[in-house]
Amino acid sequence: MRQITETERVLQELDPGGNGRAQHFLYQEAMRFLRAPARQEMLEGERYYRGLHDILDRKRTVIGADGRQEIVTNLINNRIVDNQYARMVDQKVNYLLGKPLTLETDKRDFSPLLKRLFGPAFRKTLRLVGEDALNCGLGWLHPCYDAGGRLIFRRLRPFELLPFWADEGHACLDCALRIYEEERGTGPVIERTLRAELFTAEGLYRFRLDGGLIPDGGFSPYYTCLCDGESAAGCWPALPLVAFRASGREIPLLRRVRSLQDGINTILSDFANRMQEDSHNTILVIKNYDGENLGEFRRNLAAYGAVKVRTGDGADGGVETLSVAVDAGNFEVILTLLKRALVENAKGFDLRDISLAGAPNQMAIQSLYADIDLDAGAMELEFSASLRQLMLFACAHLDQSGRPGLQPEDVEVIFNRDVLINESESIDNCVKSKGILSDETIVYQHPWVSDAEKELARRQAARAE
């Protein structure tokens, strides 16, 4: 039997109408979570994915007369964002989750029900959870019922949810606290209130954060059901929160590639600055028009592109020029190296390598996908375990709907990866496998088939005719 954790022991003292030990404990943990570096890293990953990079806040500086850097505003300051990070996130999510999942079960009567529960709406939500898993280290799904009584899987943003784990491996939850900001009002007057929802095994507690955890909304079960003609509180077989991870260590992708992404933005912005600073491509040397010390010389050279010198006898005044050429090749080499390093560190692939390969065979294509395939394998392992947990709530829903008999282990989830293939070679292999493999297996592997069950039904109908 699992021992009661300290968190569970504290929650046993939870009073929906008071402000006792449990509320104080949760409030302290909530304040610590809002300031935690892990949460800030989640926000940074979401911000970079949206294209709001650090380069957008960059200021141009020069070395001042006293030798220190100072901000100048008369210089061209391009802030270019080449969002390779978002490209890697989309690439990895679409590679694993771009195609519909295949749900296989020997209990064929449940196949239509499972397709209805895990249909297009679920696939869209799961894709967003995949983005969360890469941007924030993990994503969350909350099985619940909508206003029409239909089972839905609601996505919760990771930087709003504070989990209380019962074990070091983060496999079992004691409870979780969702902290979010609620806006009320219209026009110029908008009230913002910090609210919290505590997810427990029994139901949901609602609070307001205002110098403490103030009960606001009370307790409510996750759903209600009819029992002997009367409504009763419904309770899920487990805490209805399922975590989805890109890796077991819950490390955001941005941690691996942030410096490379910032380097790409800096190189592009600096190159644009150099190309637009026409006056700085030619430095003016003004003779016999005042001397200057070393600090003024460096500042004027950086800010104005001109220097003033005086000869010993004061004669031979005039203006000369020094031309400075901008070598675009240097910028291009550095930019290419940074982009390639970002792809390698993100474990993605570059489509240009495929386009330059002409018409490669299947082995050559698989070698180009080697890195992303290894990374997707780890992500698929984590997502498969999470989907098995999610299937527990789907089976409980079917039991309550009068369709008992399905267990999570009866359903196998297959991820159909979105990989380029040599279709003619794949079709030829399917033809050669006839007589060795079953028709069902061959149809599943055929590149032109999107739904194997429908295709097999069509074949059967055609044979009957």
449 vs 105, more confident: 105
What tokens does 27 get?
Answer: 């409030």
Answer yes or no: do 157 and 184 share one domain: yes
Residue 355 falls inside a structural domain: no
Same domain, 223 and 163: yes
* Integer Cα distance of 263 and 158 in angstroms: 28
- pTM score, two decimals? 0.81
- Structural domain includes residue 292: no
For residue 352, the model assigns a pLDDT of 73
Per-residue pLDDT of 36-67, as tens digits, reads 999 999 999 999 999 999 999 999 888 877 77
Let me know whether 379 and 464 are in one domain.
Answer: no
Same domain flag for 427 and 383: no
Q: What is the DSSP string of 400-454?
A: HTT-----GGGEEEE--------HHHHHHHHHHTBTTB-HHHHHHH-TT-S-HHH
Verify that 166 and 95 share a domain, yes or no: yes
Residue 13's pLDDT band (boundaries 50, 70, 90)?
Answer: low
Residue 103 Cα distances to 39, 93, 119, 168, 415, angstroms: 34, 19, 11, 31, 9
Band of the pLDDT at 444, cuts 50, 70, 90? Answer: confident
For residue 109, being part of any structural domain is answered with: yes
447 or 255, which is more confident:
255
| 63 and 95 belong to one structural domain | yes
276 within domain boundaries: no
Comparing 448 with 272, the larger pLDDT belongs to 272
Specify the range with the lowest mean pLDDT, choosing from 105-119, 178-192, 209-223, 255-269: 178-192
Over residues 419-431, the mean pLDDT reads: 67
Look at residue 286 and tell me if it is in a domain: no
Q: Is the pLDDT of residue 11 over 50?
A: yes
The pLDDT of 383-397, averaged and rounded, is 95
Q: What is the mean pLDDT of the chain?
A: 83
pLDDT of residue 1: 44
Residues 381 and 429 in one domain: no
C-beta atoms surrounding 161 within 10 Å: 24
- Number of domains forming the structure of the chain: 2
pLDDT tens, residue by residue, 17-39 = 555 778 889 999 999 999 999 99
Give the residue-averaged pLDDT of 214-228: 80
pLDDT at 453: 73
In a domain, 300, yes or no: no
Task: Dump the DSSP string for 332-358.
Answer: HHHHHHHHHHHHHHHT---HHHHHTT-
More confident residue, 2 or 287: 287
Minimum mean pLDDT among 206-215, 228-237, 436-445: which range?
228-237
Q: For 177-205, write each residue's pLDDT tens digit.
A: 999 998 877 767 778 889 999 999 889 99
Same domain, residue pair 386 and 426: no
Pairwise pLDDT comparison (378 vs 451), residue with the higher score: 378
**C-alpha span between 354 and 343 (Å, rounded):** 14
Helix runs in 188-317, H state only: 254-276, 278-281, 294-303
pLDDT surpasses 60 at 221 = yes
In a domain, 456, yes or no: yes
Same domain, 157 and 202: yes
> Which one is predicted more confidently, 114 or 325?
114
The helix or strand, by DSSP H or E, that contains position 393, with its residue range, turns out to be helix 370-400
Clarify whether residues 397 and 427 are in a common domain: no
Domain of 176, in residue numbers: 6-253+372-408
Quick one: 185 and 207 in the same domain? yes
| Range among 291-305, 376-390, 437-451 rated most confident | 376-390
Q: Is 165 exposed, middle or buried (0-12, 13-18, 19+ CB in 10 A)?
A: middle
Residue 53 in any domain: the answer is yes
| pLDDT of 464 higher than 70 | yes
| The two three-digit tokens of residue 369, written as one number | 């996908």
State the pLDDT at residue 252. Answer: 96
The whole-number average pLDDT for the span 101-123 is 91
